[in-house]
Amino acid sequence: MTDALFLTSSDVTELATPADYVDAVRDGYRQRGEGAPAQPRSKFFRSEPAGMLTSYAAVLPDTGAMGGYMYSAGFGAEDAWFMTPLFDAESGEPLALLDGASMNPFKTGAAGAVGVDALAREDTDTLGIIGTGAQARGQLWATATVREFTDVRVYSPTPESREAFAADFDDRLEADVRAVDSSEAAVTGADVVVTATTASEPVFDGAALEPGTHVTAMGQYNPEKRELDTTTIERATYVPDLRERATFDAGSFIAALEDGVVTEDHVHAELGEIVAGEAPGRTSDDEITVFDSGGTGIETVAGAHLLYERALEEGVGTEIEFAPASEALTGE
């Protein structure tokens, strides 16, 4: 028998800051760039009741952990449930089982921030963000730790949502955070653009991007999800979280392929390759860059292990018992 730690969503809420997540996730992508295993998500769909079961995983040898996400969305409950198993990468023994809901925006936001840090100009100070949900909040919290923004513009189609989002963050960040009434107003003149939506059609016109802009798109985890238009993909140095994802479920890149404006060779490098120094990032101030963040086990394992270690330090969580197969299958 071995003991593992069960951590509820409320257990982990206060254990780490956005900057902590960014540091952990950056190191996870560095390990991926040096060869750590990770694959795109697997998705299983059911029509009646409508829902999706998703899983993905990664091994982070230097962190000493492996695991990933398994979550359901939809079905009869019409909700989402996130489970994160974490294993010791040396012994293989289970370390923890986390309710991954509350960490989701932070670990995903951290991946976006690592993309900004690797690809955006150092002198960026203007951020345009499209979306106002939990994921948009996570992106802004994390991205604000890697660049000193003075002007943040936020847009969503619902005026009440964008005004509330802007007011909340204007009180929390040193930047001037304001709502704008169109995606064009958010994008025009922005040094960094973040899209955090569930859109199936492009959310801005790529022709509006000025030279030197960086774009982080995190809502493109399905061939039918498409936040960026073909103009953006064609103009940009394109960097996905995993190279395999670009042609598997990265909706905007797939659309650009189908329209014939790019080939598979348009993938510049994986984010991890840039973080690890195996490939160059931005090469000029005029270059437009895109980080396509569809969600991987890299940030999930990195974030979960961070929370696991903090939980041990703080004495948080409940011990649960696992039987190894050698005992469970033999009864000995």
Find, among 5, 3, 2, the residue nearest to 313 by Cα: 5
DSSP state of 328: H
Checking if the pLDDT of 276 tops 80, the result is yes
Checking if the pLDDT of 219 tops 90, the result is no
What SS3 class is residue 46?
Answer: strand
- Ordered by where they begin, the domains of the chain are 2-104+297-328 (3.30.1780.10), 121-292 (3.40.50.720)
When pLDDT is cut at 50, 70 and 90, the band that residue 222 belongs to is confident
Whether the pTM exceeds 0.85: the reply is: yes
- Could you give the CA distance from residue 191 to residue 120 in angstroms, rounded to a whole number? 8
Structure confidence at residue 220 (pLDDT): 76
- Could you give the CA distance from residue 131 to residue 145 in angstroms, rounded to a whole number? 19
Structure confidence at residue 332 (pLDDT): 62
Torsion of CA 15, 19, 21, 25, to 10 degrees: -160
Calculate mean pLDDT across residues 89-114.
96
Structure confidence at residue 179 (pLDDT): 98
Average pLDDT, the chain: 95
DSSP output for 160-190: HHHHHHHHHHHHHSSSEEEE-SSHHHHHTT-
